[in-house]
Each structure stands twice: as C-alpha cells, then as structure tokens.
C-alpha cells in the first residue's frame, strides 16, 4: 500500500469541505422550500438548487481528479 502524498491529503480535505458546503446548501434550500411552500417565492429559491449543487459537485470532482495525477 502506498503512502499518501501531501497533494492527496490536501485534496481530500478540500473535497470534504466542498461536501460540507453542498450539504449546507441543500439543507438551507430544503428549509427555505418548507417555509416558503405557500408563497410564490418558493420557485425562485428551489429552481436553481440542482444547478448550484451540480456546480459544487463538478468542482469537487475536478479537485479529486487533479490529486490523482
């Protein structure tokens, strides 16, 4: 088994941080959707959340892929 390099350790920490950000964004979107479910503002909050989470996951994937090189 190979030892991890500093680059791999740093990338793992960054990916964990990005995962926490994605969790918080999803949680906030869920709570905002629940509180605004009876108003027109719900669509403005809920509609872009899949795009925002997709961008966060893409960044996370790129960081993890760069660490493997």
* pLDDT tens figures, 10-62: 888 888 888 888 888 888 777 776 666 666 666 676 677 788 888 888 888 88
pLDDT of residue 24: 87
Contact in structure between 19 and 59 (CB atoms under 8 Å):
no
How far is residue 19's CA from residue 42's CA, in Å, rounded to a whole number? 24
pLDDT of residue 39: 65
Pick the closest to residue 12 from 53, 64, 57 (CA basis). Answer: 64
pLDDT of residue 10: 85
How far is residue 58's CA from residue 54's CA, in Å, rounded to a whole number? 6
pTM score, whole prediction? 0.65
pLDDT of residue 38: 63
């Amino acid at each position: 088994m190979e030892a991890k390099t500093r680059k791999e350790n740093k990338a793992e920490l960054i990916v964990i941080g990005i995962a926490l950000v994605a969790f918080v964004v999803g949680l906030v979107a869920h709570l905002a959707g629940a509180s605004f479910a009876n108003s027109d503002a719900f669509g403005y909050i809920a509609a872009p959340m899949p795009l925002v989470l997709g961008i966060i996951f893409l960044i996370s994937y790129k960081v993890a892929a760069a660490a493997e090189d």
